Structure 1
Amino acid sequence: MASGNHTVVYFSEQVVVLLSCALSFVGSSLILLTYCVWSDLRTTPRKLLVFLSVADWLSAVSYAFGVWKSFRGDSLDCVVQGAISTFANTSSFFWTVAIAVYLYVFIVRSSQRLADNLVLIFHVVSWGVPLIITVAAVSLNKIGYDASEVSVGWCWVRIQAQDRVLWMLLTGKIWEFLAYITLPVLYILIKRHIHIAHVALSEYRPILANRPPSQAFSSMADVKLTLIPIMFIILRIWSTVRFVLLLADSSVRQNPVLVTLHGIGNTLQGAANCIMFVLCTQPIRKRLCSALCLCCKHRAEAQYSDIVPHRLQPGQDTLIRKEEGSTGQAQTR
């Protein structure tokens, strides 16, 4: 299964991971599309979700290219792909934590002004820090072929680098570990606060139930954002397991099942977010279904208008209408 310091990526694993990348690409694109089309969805929490989706979209594209190429050595496209995926993946970590911090300040601290003021800081940190780390890694020739030891065909930290563990930590793993600690704490505090608030306001539920549906749906969408940290941990844990196994020099890291789970986990974030915040959000799902039905209707009408004039000679359409009218009268009788 493995040859020396190299993990073999089988064709079946490539297909599964590429499918995961495609789903994430579509899911992230749908989140961006719904945000652009419907202005009433442009709340700050959903805007943060859009920024996360941009990072996940970029990750999906770069990972798909890496899995499709299945690099066998250092090359220019390997370095470019590794740099893009490193930046996007690290940015995704920061935006996931940023969303949890925003919700904590907004819900627990009840300070919308402070939460909104943090958005600029989120941009500086979530885009700036990954960019600085990536530029430094590329400049020092640390990004390149990693023999799929902690990847699934794509490039990351050069496996031959003497300080590869340090750069693996700096370009992703240390932020991943911090997210594992930070996100559950913030998530528990948010859920605890929401539970206490629901109990305290139970006597006012009949009044709250009369709020406009749009406000109720917006609140539900904001609360759903707390599910992002949980999904993050479920998806990312497999790459962490392989990293720990690499440090322990265990051959288990080359197990095909673990490799496949790693590939799916690293690339499915965009699809998971789309399922939670688009397909499983009733008002957005209704709008998508209505838009799809309307599009199909217009397409059918366009096809009919293109076909009928070519098939009917002048005057035949009037004759057909008369025949249809007489047939309808006969059936009525």
Structure 2
Amino acid sequence: MLLGNNTCHHDNISDLIIQYIAMVACILSSIGSFIIILSYLLIRPIRTKVREILVHLSVMDLTYSLANLIGLILNYDNHIKEVSGSCEPKLTHPYDIICKVQGGVAFYATISSLLWTSGIAVYLYFRVVVNKDKMIRVVVLLLYLTCWGIPATLTTWVLYVEAIGYDYSSSGGWCALKQKSQSTHTGDVVIAIFNNDLWIMLTTVLVVMLCGLIHFHIRKQLRFMKESHTLLSNSATELQRTDTKLLFIPVIFIILRIWDVVFNVLTVYNSVDLPTGVEITLKLLAAIGDSSQGLCNVVLYCVFTPTVRRYFMKPFNRCGCCHGDEEERQRLLSSTWLLSTGSSRHGHHSNSGVMRTSSISSKQVTT
């Protein structure tokens, strides 16, 4: 949710295009998040702790997308009453109340979504690298308290100070944190930090750091097993593909979330007067990125998960619409511990070195 510069009107054509594109992104993200939740409820083998955390993330992504979609459908621009001498839009009743509810729900969901994204990286680190069950149970409990508690506290505060509202500079046309200071940038900076920027930057640093540590741990295990001649080809392929899949977590997150930070750094923190084309482009990218995490997650955690993919492809297989060697696709696309298929077929080797490999790829995240 961009803050932007103080303006008293919309560029109707460009903002309308951004709102329609944001609406499509919200719908696709909602569908993706719903599929992730549905797969967890329907497919018993994938009901693992990392999938459980992913479901909490998907619930927040679904909530955020639906809240913004409602804001877009209501089209607050049509319910603004004229206030002379003020650049801050005032909504007519009851849309002013609806705006606060929609903005508050979206604010809670986006902060919680960022924290749950960090939570996945934290859990994977403690499960794969540390691998101490008692410590992991404590970590999971702290994740629940943090990812549900901090957003609730912040949302209560911003609603209490009436910081939620409709702003002409909103990236997509929904209600969010509004600018509290029209004369200075002090209020804008505070709101930008508590809005998204602080949490995006913290999440980026944490996810990149933890995924990097897991990456180096996996590479270390591969080198150890090669040197001890205990590495089987299928185990090597599994770990390498797991390692590659792991790198997508920070990359996708940065691509989706960086545009808010870039825009606010330029316009709020440094007061740069952006060219119209650049401003519209950043707003468009932010509107798409803010509402697309559910879509990206369903591709990463469902489309590329053989167990989930086979389950949802059953109706097409029965009608003869889809054919092919599923076992070959499963071998090429499998990444068991990250995607949490719950399968243990790679963990039944008698060699101790191979057992160590399978514990990284399966047991450590399907516990």
Give the alignment's TM-score, normalised by structure 2.
0.71
Match for residue 280 of structure 1 among 304, 308, 328: 304
Task: Quote the residue 1:28 is aligned against.
Answer: 33
The 5-angstrom pairing of residues 99-248 of structure 1 reads 99-149=120-170, 151-161=171-181, 163-202=187-226, 203-206=229-232, 209=235, 224=245, 227-247=248-268, 248=270
Per the TM alignment, residue 5 of structure 1 is displaced from its structure 2 partner at its CA by 4.5
Root-mean-square deviation over aligned CA pairs: 2.7
Query: CA distance change for structure 1 residues 190 and 253 in 2, over 3 Å: closer, same or farther?
Result: farther
Residue ranges of structure 1 left out of the alignment (5+ in a row)? 211-215, 298-333
**8 Å CA contact retained: 2:43, 2:308:** no
* Structure with the larger helix share: 1
2:275 and 2:44 map into 1 onto residues whose CA distance is: 46
**8 Å CA contact retained: 1:246, 1:253:** no
Per the TM alignment, residue 112 of structure 1 is displaced from its structure 2 partner at its CA by 3.7
AA aligned opposite 1:246: T
Match for residue 7 of structure 2 among 4, 7, 11: 4
1:5 and 1:221 map into 2 onto residues whose CA distance is: 50
2:172 is paired with a residue whose SS is coil
AA aligned opposite 2:169: S
1:157 and 1:253 map into 2 onto residues whose CA distance is: 24
2:145 and 2:246 map into 1 onto residues whose CA distance is: 21
Task: Quote the residue 2:272 is aligned against.
Answer: 250
Task: Quote the residue 1:98 is aligned against.
Answer: 119
1:225 and 1:192 map into 2 onto residues whose CA distance is: 11
Structure number with larger C-alpha Rg = 1
Per the TM alignment, residue 209 of structure 1 is displaced from its structure 2 partner at its CA by 4.9
Per the TM alignment, residue 186 of structure 1 is displaced from its structure 2 partner at its CA by 1.1
**8 Å CA contact retained: 2:7, 2:169:** no
2:242 and 2:66 map into 1 onto residues whose CA distance is: 27
**8 Å CA contact retained: 1:145, 1:156:** yes
1:209 and 1:226 map into 2 onto residues whose CA distance is: 19
2:247 and 2:315 map into 1 onto residues whose CA distance is: 28
Task: Quote the residue 2:44 is aligned against.
Answer: 39
**8 Å CA contact retained: 1:107, 1:190:** yes
AA aligned opposite 2:231: R
CA deviations over 1:23-78 (Å, ceiling 9, x no partner): 10000000001100011101111111111101100011011122333433341111
Per the TM alignment, residue 3 of structure 1 is displaced from its structure 2 partner at its CA by 8.9
Equivalent pairs counted in the alignment come to 288
2:192 and 2:76 map into 1 onto residues whose CA distance is: 18
1:225 and 1:188 map into 2 onto residues whose CA distance is: 9
Per the TM alignment, residue 179 of structure 1 is displaced from its structure 2 partner at its CA by 1.4
